[in-house]
Amino acid sequence: MQTHEIARRFTQYFTDAGHTRVPSASLILDDPTLLFVNAGMVQFKPYFLGEAPPPYPRATSIQKCVRTGDIDEVGKTTRHNTFFQMAGNFSFGDYFKAGAIEHAWKLVTGPQSEGGYGFDPDRIWVTVYLDDNEAAELWRSIAGIPAERIQRRSGKDNYWDMGVPGPGGPCSEIYFDRGPEHGAEGGPVVDEDRYLEIWNLVFMQDVRGERSPKDGHPPIGELPNKNIDTGMGVERVAYLLQGVENVYETDLVRPVIARAEEFSGRRYGADHGDDVRFRVIADHARSGVMIIGDGVTPSNEGRGYVLRRLLRRIVRASRLLGVQEPVLNSYAEVVRDAMAPSYPQLVTDFERISAVVRAEEEAFLATLTAGSRIFDLAVAETKTGGATQLAGDKAFQLHDTYGFPIDLTLEMAAEAGLTVDEQGFCALMAEQRARAKADAAARKTGHADAQAYRAVLDAGGGTEFLGYRDLAAEARIVGLIADGAGVPAADAGSAVEVVLDRTPFYAEGGGQQADTGVIRGDGFAIAVSDVQSPVTGLIVHRGTVREGEATVGSVVQAEVDPSRRAAISRSHSATHLVHAGMRRHLGDAAAQAGSLNAPGRLRFDFTSPGGAVPASVLSEVEDEVNAVLTNDYEVRAFVTSQDEARRLGALALFGEKYGDAVRVVEIGDYSRELCGGTHVRRSGQLGLVKLLSEASIGSGVRRVEALVGLDAFRFLAREHVLVSQLAEQFKARPEELPERIGGIVERLRVAERELEKVRAEAVLASAASLADRAEDVNGIALVAVAAPEGLSSNDLRALASDIRGRLGARPGVVALFSADGDKVSFVVATTAAARDRGLAAGRLVPAFAPAVGGRGGGKPDLAQGGGSDPSGVAAAIDALRGAVAAA
């Protein structure tokens, strides 16, 4: 019975029994206790907790689930999955134990011809909670299960609660006896591999206190309404009904393994180590696609980190199977095709899913190539020194320099027979975080002790900001700071931080870059290159004394660079307009998540749960923003209370802290935000806004970059010249260029495919001549040559296999090397007669791989690998010849 049919029958049975069909919730729910939905009851928690009245008395669902606690066990056993489907039926104060047991029994043992699963009743075992006599009696009276197949277990196994005070209750689990060939007699309490759990019925009847009945503590009361929560593992039922050995061989999972077999040339079931890798690929591919489908993207924390770890484990498992080319998108296609009947959104959203896996694999392959060399050296040094633990600083170097997650280092070290000094690694990570935090503070404070700023603040009060209305103002120096300490004077050439009692200079903040300019006094001048506010209320001007000597107490003229200020103000106003445009077209979810307002350009970050913004939307936003410029709206700024600003609909931005009085910036009726930055007086002063690009910068966050004013005009002028040149080259009107260029690109692709076909045929055509030129080494026909450069691993395997076939019944070894820049790939193939003489391809690789700075492996008939030193091919061939001669 196919998996989709198993799910369909479950849903059909329970809807026929009066249950409301509820679609699977997303894997991502607003639940701070969960990274991912891990059980069918999660979306119903408010009803079980009494936080909301249930809209129906009984429900059924097939829920997508991800559990990540057993990632390291995936593939090693045949039972662990990260992604699975949980079929469940739920009763909210309706039926209870008898109803749940009766429904489960009818569906599990009902004839397949009548919509059931058709399990043999005599092979069903159940477990109940230690003192749940009622459940035990119901299994006997309703299902007729004899007492010897009803086993009692403690709360560790057969009591359920949410891990916090609240509802809970005893469980009853249904097991299927797979037969004596799978383990010992005695039921689930003896062997849970032979007796496989397929369904858990939770009788939610208790109120648990601070301590759980799972640990032997009695409940503190009874629920006013008794509820039912069940969960049937769809994949487990599938592998029992499909007659396979484990979940990896079921109809929705095995196709991924089949694709991995195609890539690797190896066969599932032939080698335990390979089987573990095949299972990792199959499980993680499903999990990765389903997680991405629900909106998660790879990152270095939270859900994004789990996803990144899953995808990177796939890539590495594929590498260990000998696959060098990118694989993730191909595996994702298999998952899409297998799962689409139940989850059609995987088809409609596959372009985004594909883009995510491609980008992640590309990034990781670069990491893996560089980091693996360093890791191998570290392992060799560790073993040479007689140690069994990889040093913490080595693990930190792999993480900090090469982007190796510590999980990957731990996994690779274990495969090499080593442990890792995790405590040392964590200590170095903590030091790095502390340095980063100090550096971030230093960039704002100029490495000065904050005490020096506070001393100035205490002595002279805060700095009055005049920059909203003035670009030049008279002021007085109230403090000079050099090398982190207050000084009375600073002479020519000195780097100094200047504090004024009042200033027109804008300190960097709210995404707006700082002003630059000059501070002039009697006989001295200070060039200001940066302005910061290291402590609240104080504005600090960083610069260099160009001439004379500056002294505390001097009266000065502070002058902002007007052209830079105007350009930055245009960018800041443009950012407000882009933000408003995005929200109008994408909805309120498109909230600002960061910005940079620089002279002539802006960068605007915003949340986008729906993924990439279509080009059509970007074009519409750009048109709308420029229409605002054409309308030349007044830009008005005013201070009001937070409540009034909220009533007016002013947007408060991410991560900002506001006092009781806030500054609101309005651009006509189009935009209204809380903002402390500087802006133009009328929208027409922006001139032009040109959106350049839109891209992802993290999980659920997108970035738009744009040019403003003269920079935008210059960009368009360059674009116009470029288009004119292309039109001249192609003898076409500008509007015809996309079609004309597209046609040429397509013809080039066709030509490239034809060339690839010709090249592949040419490569295979050389097989006969290479086989004819085989040298005799101690009775072994040896073909060891450098093949044409740039051959893919697939081409090398095909050529090696063809040559081996032409050697016939002779003992023969074929080794081909192909250089590609500073890398070299190799393949070794052996005939059956050679293997009879002890020449296994996988065992020959270590004899010559070091000569090309590489490694590899495989099975006795075919092995492959790669190295980083193409100049060593000749030496590698000599080393192989010696190994063959010694056989």
| Residues of each annotated binding site for Zn(2+) | 572, 576, 675, 679
Q: What is the DSSP letter of 141?
A: I
Q: Which of 662, 606, 667, 658 is nearest to 635 (CA)?
A: 667
- Which pair of tokens denotes residue 330? 């191909």
Contact 396, 425 (CB under 8 A): yes
Percent of residues in the chain assigned helix, strand, coil, to nearest 5? 45, 25, 30
Residue listed under structure tokens 């990765």: 288
Residues β-bridged to residue 200: 173, 231
Contact 268, 278 (CB under 8 A): yes
Contact 90, 52 (CB under 8 A): no
Give CA 450 to chain center in angstroms. 39
**What's the residue count for the chain?**
887
Q: What is the DSSP letter of 658?
A: -
The packing angle between helices 392-402 and 422-445, to 10°, is 50
Residues β-bridged to residue 590: none
Contact 778, 884 (CB under 8 A): yes
SS3 category, 225: strand
Cα torsion angle, 297, 302, 307, 308, sign: positive
Compute φ and ψ for 496, nearest 5 degrees: -145, 155
Residue type for position 869: D
Residue listed under structure tokens 């007007």: 562
List of residues 6+ apart from 289 with CB closer than 8 A: 332, 335, 336, 339, 346, 353, 357
Give CA 798 to chain center in angstroms. 35
Q: What is the DSSP letter of 139?
A: I
List of residues 6+ apart from 343 with CB closer than 8 A: 64, 290, 293
The CA R_g of the chain, rounded to the nearest whole Å, is 35
Residues β-bridged to residue 174: 126, 199
First to last CA, the chain: 51
Question: 105-136: buried (b, 16+ CB within 10 Å) or exposed (e) per residue?
Answer: bbbbbbeeeebbbebeeeebbbbbbeebeebb
d(CA 604, CA 614): 16
d(CA 847, CA 881): 10
Contact 811, 831 (CB under 8 A): yes
Run of H or E including 700: none
CA neighbours within 13 Å on the CB side: how many for 532? 18
List of residues 6+ apart from 314 with CB closer than 8 A: 280, 281, 284, 285, 288, 327, 328, 331
Q: Which of 279, 321, 298 is nearest to 73 (CA)?
A: 279
Annotated binding site: 572, 576, 675, 679
Please report the DSSP string for 768-819 in residue order: HHHHHTPEEETTEEEEEEEPPTT--HHHHHHHHHHHHHHTTTS-EEEEEEEE
| Cα separation values, 820 from 306, 745, 787, 795, Å | 34, 25, 11, 13
List of residues 6+ apart from 103 with CB closer than 8 A: 13, 14, 17, 89
SS3 category, 563: helix
Compute φ and ψ for 786, nearest 5 degrees: -85, 115
| Cα separation values, 513 from 440, 529, 536, 571, 666, Å | 16, 11, 18, 10, 21
